[in-house]
Amino acid sequence: MAAIITNKFRIHNQEQFVESFSESSANVYYLGIGRPQAWGTTTRGDSRTQYEGTDTSPPTPVDSVSQEFHVFDDLLAAKRVTSSDVSIVIPRRNWATGTVYDYYRHDYGHYVTGSSSSVITANSGATTLFDSTFYVLTEDFNVYKCLDNNSNANSTVKPTGTSTSILSTADGYKWKYMYTLSAAQRTNFLSTDFMAVATDSTVATANTDGAIDIVKIKTAGSGGSDGTHTGIAIRGDGSSGTVSVTISSGAVSAVTVTAGGSGYTYGYIRVADINTAGGGSLSGTELDVIIGPKGGHGENAIEELGGYFVMLNTNFEAAETSNSGDFTTANDFRRVTLMRDIDTGGSAATATTLRGTKAILVTSPSGTFTADEEINQATTGAVGKVVEWDSSNNILYYIQPRFNDQGLDSNGNLTAFSTTATITGQSSGATATPSTSTTTVDNISFTSGYAGSEVDADTGDVLYIENRSPITRASDQTENVKLIIEF
């Protein structure tokens, strides 16, 4: 049985995903950063080793239950993604002179008429419309769809303007203006490889559904009477479409649409009609009537240009001034995750930022704890890994990954730090005593000196995981993460 899932299904799924960011009752999304410790071979609690790649070659994430648990082990912080941080996007294709662009066809991938083996293919080799290079972005941030590429000629004249009519350039190309990227779209949803897509209402309103704009010559034929022959009907399920046909040396050399008509979902130009209009004894000619999308070119730019990609644009602004205790700039990160409907303190999370690390308020510190060093606590035997030592506020931030010398004690168990037993840094030799205070310091609420992560471990759903080489943070630095999801 032969079957496909169409691009419309992909676009439907994209639309549902984008819409979910505006739903207040559920679907609260967070983009998280984590993994401050280096990639490498680790040792499990049963003394077996676990390979986790290297900093220069991070491991490829695995779509597994285990991988989802891993995300929470070393999560540093998470920032909420709102509807204003999300846009539908398409691959970016910059116009460049000297390039042959594919032209729009409604039937790429169909069998060539008269053949049972060859399919209609774009000049680039693409056999589907959205794999072809049929639209461009100019330096004016205008997007144009190529309707005719002058028989696969180089494009040497940049399309300009925002007219709703077809734009003909001196190099023989014909273009349709689609939309212009707004300033906000250029700032937030334009990357090297992708760009926002939207429908221009003026373009959409000016369309005629089922109008014919382009007719291509597949086979020129022979035996015709030279001259330009007019008033030739476009047959099919639409009405009022006409063309003029120019014959030179007995063969068709040009076809011009003189009236686009309306209502066409398929169309034909018969050789008999050309001959009746003065074409003489023309034979062997095959003309392809190009059918526009539903509603016409520009009616729905998202569907017409293949908008089944979504971009999430999030800035991690240094320590995030809305809650300065959440995002550390004292350590790097190696993992980016998209999470949905996570909890904080047993309830659904809605805050702008969430701290992923655990924290201890200490007294009488001696020495300086260093990032990524192992810490141990006397009596309890708890083990952790330092994320940041805030000497100004005497706060020790840490994580407890599931490996020896990182989060597991000598018995292979994850034991919580507790009590006022001394904590010692294994590399720095620094020591400190946990406070007994229940207080708020640097926006962190401590109970008897301890504060858990603001992200409840293993809640919600992890939708995306990206492992990467270390990204170093700084107090005067903003990391911009543009996450692309293809449906």
pLDDT in tens, 267-306: 999 999 999 999 999 999 999 999 999 999 999 999 999 9
**Which CATH code is given to the segment(s) 7-86+311-355+456-486?**
2.60.340.10
How many C-beta atoms surround the C-beta of residue 151 within 10 A? 11
What pLDDT does residue 125 have? 97
Between CA 384 and CA 401 the distance in angstroms is: 8
Query: Widest CA span of the chain, in angstroms?
Result: 104
Asked whether 173 and 157 are in contact (CB, 8 A), the reply is yes
Contacts of 317 by beta carbon, 8 Å cutoff, 6+ apart: 478
Question: Looking at residues 228-248, what average pLDDT do you find?
Answer: 98
Work out the end-to-end distance of the chain between its first and last CA atoms, rounded to an integer number of angstroms. 24
pLDDT higher than threshold 60 for residue 308: yes
Q: What is the pTM of this model?
A: 0.90
Residues contacting 65, CB < 8 A, separation 6+: none
**pLDDT above 90 coverage of the chain, percent:** 92
Average pLDDT over every residue of 442-459 = 95
pLDDT per residue as tens digits for the range 391-445 = 999 999 999 999 999 999 999 999 999 999 999 999 999 999 999 999 999 889 9
Q: Are 115 and 223 in contact (CB under 8 A)?
A: no
Residue 238 CA to residue 312 CA, distance in Å, equals 42
**Summary mean pLDDT of the chain:** 95
> Which residues have a Cβ under 8 Å from the Cβ of 184 and sit 6 or more positions away?
none
pLDDT reported for residue 1: 82
Report CA-CA distances (Å) from 129 to 97, 105, 122, 304: 22, 7, 8, 9
Residues 6 or more apart in contact with residue 28 via CB below 8 angstroms: 80, 340, 341, 342, 348, 349, 350
For residue 26, what are the CA distances in angstroms to 14, 94, 343, 351?
Answer: 17, 38, 12, 14
Please tell me whether residue 234 adopts helix, strand or coil conformation: coil
Which tokens in the block code for residue 420?
Answer: 């006022």
Give per-residue pLDDT as tens, 4-57. 999 999 999 999 999 999 887 678 999 999 999 999 999 999 999 999 999 999
CA angle 7, 12, 15 (to 5 degrees): 125
| Predicted pLDDT of residue 2 | 87
Residue 19 CB neighbours (<10 A)? 12
CA distance 241 to 233: 6
Specify whether the CB–CB gap between 128 and 86 falls below 8 A.
Answer: no
What ranges do the domains of the chain cover?
7-86+311-355+456-486, 93-179, 212-290, 358-451
The CA-CA-CA angle for residues 248, 249, 252, to 5°, reads 45
For 433-441, the CB contacts below 8 A with 24+ separation are 433/362, 433/363, 433/364, 434/360, 434/361, 434/362, 434/363, 435/360, 435/361, 435/362, 435/363, 435/394, 437/361, 439/361, 441/361, 441/393, 441/395
> What are 309's two structure tokens?
């990609």
Query: What mean pLDDT comes out for the span 237-244?
Result: 98
Cα angle 43, 70, 394; round to 5: 85
Render pLDDT for 326-357 as a digit per residue (tens, 0 to 9): 888 899 999 999 999 999 999 999 999 999 99
239-256 per-residue burial string, b: 16 or more CB within 10 A, e: under 16: eebbbbbbbeebbbeebe
Whether 321 has a pLDDT exceeding 70, the answer reads: no
pLDDT at 148 over 70: yes
pLDDT tens-digit readout, 174-185: 999 999 999 999
- The pairing of strands 212-219 and 194-196 is unpaired
Determine the pLDDT at residue 437. Answer: 96
Structure tokens at 10: 């992909």
- Residue 79 Cα distances to 29, 76, 308, angstroms: 8, 11, 25
* 322 pLDDT above the threshold of 60: no
